[in-house]
Amino acid sequence: MKKFLSITILSIVVLLSACSKNSNNSASPTNSTPNSPINLTAALVTNSQISLNWVDSSSNETGFHIERKNLNGTYSVIATVGANVNTYLDNSTTANTTYVYRVNAFNTSGNSINYTNEVTVNTTLGVDSLVVTLSTNQVENNGWDQVLITVKDKLTGADVTATSNLFINSGSFATPITSAVFTPYSNGSFTISATQGTILSNLAPLTVVSASPSAFTHKNIGRRLHQ
């Protein structure tokens, strides 16, 4: 009798252990929070529309929260999209405003542990602020000295020279520059600036001085050598 009772108890313990193990092994992914989405990108469609795209890294999400804030503001959820969606068009923006976005995934177990990377975009022309740099801050007015102008988006570091309007400024007067390779036309102290829409860059200083006698000698020698 004791032997039978021992065997029965042992059998029950083994059965309960097996059930517990099978229950753990058969846990569905839906009982855990989804993986975090990755690689969020943003692109300006118009000055009132921003397109967002991200990579879905999970198979058990219910959907995604799209969060937005102004550059120095606080995040809030502006939209929720369903499972397997990886794009969103934000139509609720204001012109000439800088926004920051992030996205996370969610299901009945909660939100993904992390958000995507943050992306920043301005609704004017896709840039937040412009930074002008010059290849040199002083040149001679000798006919061949040139200044290379580079314009970058301060936040992303993207080169936006080709889409910027360039100016040489003297006092309150600004004269357009048609090329990023600028050849001085008069002596003096100037600044170089750039614009995109209503966004104005810094003023990069440039000094243009008279050509030194050695420069004219060098130029004349060069001409004689090519004759």
On whether residue 5 sits in a domain, the answer given is no
On whether residue 218 sits in a domain, the answer given is no
Domain boundary among 93, 122, 151: 122
Say yes or no to pLDDT of 1 above 60. no
Domain boundary among 100, 122, 144: 122
On whether residue 158 sits in a domain, the answer given is yes
Q: 48 lies in which domain range?
A: 30-122
| pLDDT, tens digit, 9 for 90 and up, residues 23-58 | 433 333 447 999 999 999 888 776 678 899 999 999
The CATH number of the domain where 97 resides is what? 2.60.40.10
On whether residue 222 sits in a domain, the answer given is no
| pLDDT, tens digit, 9 for 90 and up, residues 121-133 | 877 655 557 899 9
**Integer Cα distance of 146 and 121 in angstroms:** 33
How many CB atoms neighbour CB 142 within 10 A?
17
Residues 7-17: what's their mean pLDDT? 46
**Integer Cα distance of 34 and 62 in angstroms:** 9
Do 47 and 117 belong together in one domain? yes
Give the pTM. Answer: 0.47
Pick the residue with more confidence: 92 or 227? 92
The CATH number of the domain where 145 resides is what? 2.60.40.1080
On whether residue 107 sits in a domain, the answer given is yes
Do 178 and 144 belong together in one domain? yes
Is the separation of the CB atoms in 190 and 204 below 8 Å?
no
DSSP helix/strand/coil, 103:
strand
On whether residue 14 sits in a domain, the answer given is no
> What's the structural domain count of the chain?
2
